[in-house]
C-alpha cells in the first residue's frame, strides 16, 4: 500500500465518522454541536493531509530540511489559527470541536495496522 492509498483510506473513513458524529452532536447539542464536530474534524483532516503530503515529498527527496521545518511550522500555525477562530467565534461548541479533532487518531491507527498486516 502506498502513502497515497493510506491517506485516501484515512480521509474517506474520517469523513464518514465525522459525518456520523456531527449528526449525533447536532441531535444532542443542536447547530453548535454539529458545527463544532465538523470544524474540528475538518481542521484535523486538513492538517493530516498537508503533513502527509509533506512527508511524501520528503520521502521522494523533494525540498530540504529547512524548507520542511518551515512548512511544518506554517501548517501547525494555520491549524492553531483555525482552531482559535472556531472557538473564539462562539458558533462551535468547544467539546464538539474536541470530539471532531479526536476522530482522526483512532482511524489513522486502525488503517495503519490494517495496511501493515
pLDDT at residue 65 tops 60: no
The pLDDT > 70 percentage for the chain reads 94
Q: Residue 102: what pLDDT? A: 96
Q: What is the pLDDT of residues 4-24, one digit of tens each?
A: 899 999 999 999 999 999 999
Q: How many helices (H) and strands (E) does the chain have?
A: 5, 0
Q: What is the pLDDT of residues 27-55, one digit of tens each?
A: 999 999 999 999 999 999 999 998 888 77
Measured distance CA(39)–CA(56) in Å, rounded: 26
Record the pTM: 0.87
Amino acid at each position: 500500500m502506498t502513502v497515497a492509498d493510506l491517506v485516501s483510506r484515512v480521509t474517506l473513513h474520517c469523513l464518514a465518522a465525522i459525518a456520523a458524529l456531527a449528526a449525533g452532536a447536532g441531535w444532542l447539542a443542536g447547530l453548535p454541536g454539529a458545527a463544532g464536530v465538523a470544524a474540528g474534524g475538518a481542521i484535523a483532516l486538513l492538517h493530516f493531509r498537508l503533513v502527509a503530503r509533506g512527508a511524501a515529498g520528503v520521502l521522494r527527496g523533494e525540498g530540504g530540511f529547512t524548507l520542511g521545518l518551515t512548512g511544518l511550522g506554517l501548517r501547525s500555525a494555520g491549524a492553531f489559527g483555525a482552531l482559535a477562530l472556531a472557538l473564539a467565534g462562539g458558533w462551535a461548541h468547544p467539546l464538539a470541536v474536541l470530539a471532531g479533532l479526536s476522530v482522526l487518531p483512532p482511524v489513522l491507527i486502525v488503517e495503519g495496522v490494517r495496511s501493515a498486516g
